[in-house]
Structure 1
């Protein structure tokens, strides 16, 4: 849920997936109900539109139950519907039809292989996602989208050079919204905000559907907000909402910018609207922390209970816990549980977010020397992430490293003085305690 990870898991769902059969096969096995030539265009369409496509595939499969491509496409649709609706009960459905598809056609069924990679990534089983994406690329090495799925898995596994190479290959094969958005993220991870923004603007210029415009405008807003420019973030979310009125993602993005600009009433209204549309745990948690910062602790606790319920629902449907739950338990629950979650999460997802979350859990558990090592791994790529620097600054402070603490806390606030409604204030107070001007 942290902003730096938004583009990672599931970014392959942006824009057209284009999983047409490889040209050397000389044929298309796409079901009549699927999109033209077996492609998966407009996968950022609304839940209603996607539900209609799912229904059409289901009707087709009742007549032709052994259509492997249709089954693979249906599995991908289920994964996307889970993402849109935040309903993880689609994951077991996806697994069932994807396994049926692979049983019917094993060797060259890259659509189902891609579906399995997407499913495993959604469940945070990134090693398995990497395996499936590699298998798909082996079958169809000229398909740009498959390199995007491969890049996503590599990113989450901390295999950054491989991820960046895969994204470059994707761009070379098919420059467009999905590949340019990923290219933006590779630069964001490396701390080059200008290059990240430039590539996301190119992705926006290439966007040919309202959904893709909304997607890119949301991430432009995130880039602006995360780097201390809530006014630009607000402008991007307004443009995005013109393209996709009522988008929960954009409402939540607008709420974050509004809160930073001091319009808390508007922020609370937008967060409430976002949560009512899609109870995404990230939105619920952000709303809870804003409420807590306003002294509305009872209302905040209600949101935290919703967060816990959402996370249980994900766990019950096979989604492995990772940085989100680790940070939540560290900040609002049980630090001992947070350390256990962080340790387990790092085994399956050695990504910078997970290093940061585990570092924070270790710090709150009193293990600051270990925490500092994890925190330094989180910042090793040069990512401009205010939360990472705040965590490292507080760890340095606990270890008595006053100069290092001042540097890191100052960097956090220089990147984004509104990075969190609770912790930004703590960072300023810590700097004052250290004798620095916040």
Structure 2
């Protein structure tokens, strides 16, 4: 399938982006948490008058609270505090703070149902909690108040992507780019191009996002780190390392860049150094993607006990996220399909997740869960669905290769394996081992 015109026509995107910066960019992202060492994250937008929040979220919360004490019924102050809470959650991973954000945002809307910043914040909150259908509703309410609000199209884009409605997401995103070509819109262009298999275009768009962000800000750090991720996914480890280190020169404790650098070390076979770098990050900020990566690194070193400790923590963190109101069905299903011992549980979770969010990655998770339960023909169907846009993700092709091999199609398995190895032989510590093992097995069986 070809990429939508709105994403491929370079002329539609200005060559030089503006320096607008919305402070709490991509709050919900790290959906797209599990996949994107998100993943992820790639979500919600906020308002330009809150730029200071990105630099120091705790201070922004305190400042907004002081302002609110002076004017307790001011919807502007309430909305600003809600935005500050959301940014603090994004930086700390403390899901218990969602209740704080929701309380003040909904109070702002009770005072002024048409308050555009509060509507944007409520949409961002819905994205963060993985309520993607709800996020569409909030985006529509915001557009009814202000049809030229780019943030509404950002919320709409993110929600549509997470519901698997990619063509509609591309339409919404083009409108966002037309209204406000900045770091937030370009980073979303990058992700959609990546989904459609346009790796060069994805990198170009993310580099544009970096150029349009103010150096040293959270948006600049985030987009530069994702340039590193894109370079790493293309086997350009030196370029990836350079991007991560550039981010770390501005913020030495920036967790996403440190985790990315750990993945570069792992891809070079330096698992021990990767563990030494990542372990303090995961202890300070125990997000599932960091815990999974650390667990896989321990497993690659043969330390199964420590690996299991990390995996157990993933389940605890996701339980806490669920208790805070976040829908984590897909994230848990993906984790259990890859790392859990209960294949039947993984399948039940994957089926429920796909029914709610029929995305490419939900299809891949379901395919892998079916494979683990010995239902290979069904697994192949969903694996094909997961690859329908041409996404260049080695993990998708690894799963396809394993499924083809299980069906006795060694030629098809070799073709899928070759594609995975061409894309990236080191997508993660676990996948690297699986690719190498399958390669040996298929070549041993080769006539």
Same fold by TM-score greater than 0.5: yes
Q: Give the one of 127, 130, 133 matched to 1:124.
A: 130
**2:148 pairs with 122, 139, 142, which one?**
142
For the residues of structure 1 that align with 2:292 and 2:190, how far apart are their CA atoms?
Answer: 26
* 2:191 corresponds to 1:159: no
Q: CA deviation at 1:43?
A: 4.6
Residue in 2 aligned with 1:373? 381
Aligned to 2:101: 94
Q: Is the 8 A contact 1:368 1:399 kept in 2?
A: yes
CA contact (8 A) 2:153 2:175 kept: yes
SS of equivalent residue, structure 1 residue 84 = helix
User: 1: distance between equivalents of 2:37 and 2:379?
Assistant: 21
Deviation at 1:9, TM superposition (A): 5.1
1:103 aligns with 2:113: no
Question: How do 1:283-298 residues align onto structure 2 when only pairs under 5 Å count?
Answer: 283-298=290-305
Q: Is the 8 A contact 1:7 1:182 kept in 2?
A: no
Counterpart mapping for 1:17-416 below 5 A:
17-18=46-47, 39-45=49-55, 49-106=56-113, 108-210=114-216, 211-333=218-340, 334-416=342-424
State the distance in 2 between where 1:7 and 1:251 align: 14
Q: Cα RMSD between the aligned structures?
A: 1.9
SS of the residue corresponding to residue 95 of structure 2 reads coil
SS of structure 2 residue aligned to 1:422: helix
Change in Cα spacing, 1:241 to 1:377, as seen in structure 2 (3 Å) is same
Contact residue 124 and residue 349 of structure 1 kept, 8 A: no
Kindly provide the CA deviation profile for residues 73-105 of structure 1, in whole angstroms up to 9, marking residues without a partner as x: 222222221111011001111221122111111
Secondary structure of the 1:216 match is helix
Tell me the alpha carbon deviations over residues 186-224 of structure 1, each in whole angstroms, 9 at most, x when there is no partner.
Answer: 211111111111111111112214122211111011101
d(CA) in 2 for partners of 1:278, 1:414: 33
Structure 1 residue 340 displacement after superposition: 1.6
Unaligned runs of 5+ in 2: 1-32
Question: Secondary structure of 1:153's match?
Answer: helix
Contact 1:321 1:341 in 2 (8 A): no
Change (3 A) 1:199 1:174: same
Number of the residue aligned with 2:27: none
Contact 1:248–1:277, Cα closer than 8 Å, also in 2:
no
Q: Aligned partners of 2:151, 2:207: CA distance in 1, in Å?
A: 20
Question: Residue by residue, what CA displacement relative to the aligned partner does 1:237-262 show, whole Å, maximum 9, x if unpaired?
Answer: 11111122210111101000011112
- Report deviation, 1:7: 6.0
In 2, Cα distance between the equivalents of 1:387 and 1:406? 14
Deviates most, 1-10 or 182-191: 1-10
Matched positions, count:
412
Match of 1:25 in 2: none
CA drift at 1:145: 2.0
Structure 2 distance, partners of 1:208, 1:360, is 41
Deviations 1:133-169 (A, max 9, x none): 1211221111222211111111101111111112111
Question: Aligned-pair distance for 1:383?
Answer: 0.8
Distance 1:4 1:191, change over 3 A: farther
Distance 1:319 1:250 in 2: 25
Distance 1:240 1:276 in 2: 21
Greater relative contact order (Cα 8 A, min sep 6): structure 1 or 2? 2
Post-superposition offset of 1:431: 2.9
Which ranges in structure 1 are unaligned for 5 or more consecutive residues?
A: 20-38
Query: What secondary structure sits across from 1:363 in the alignment?
Result: helix
Q: 1:8 Cα deviation (Å)?
A: 6.1
* Residues 284 and 299 of structure 1, relative CA distance in 2, 3 Å threshold: same
Q: Which has the higher mean CA deviation after the structures are superposed, 330-339 or 121-130? A: 330-339
Change (3 A) 1:43 1:209: farther
Change (3 A) 1:178 1:352: same
Normalising by structure 2, what TM-score?
Answer: 0.88
Task: Write the distance in 1 (CA, Å) between the matches of 2:109 and 2:254.
Answer: 35
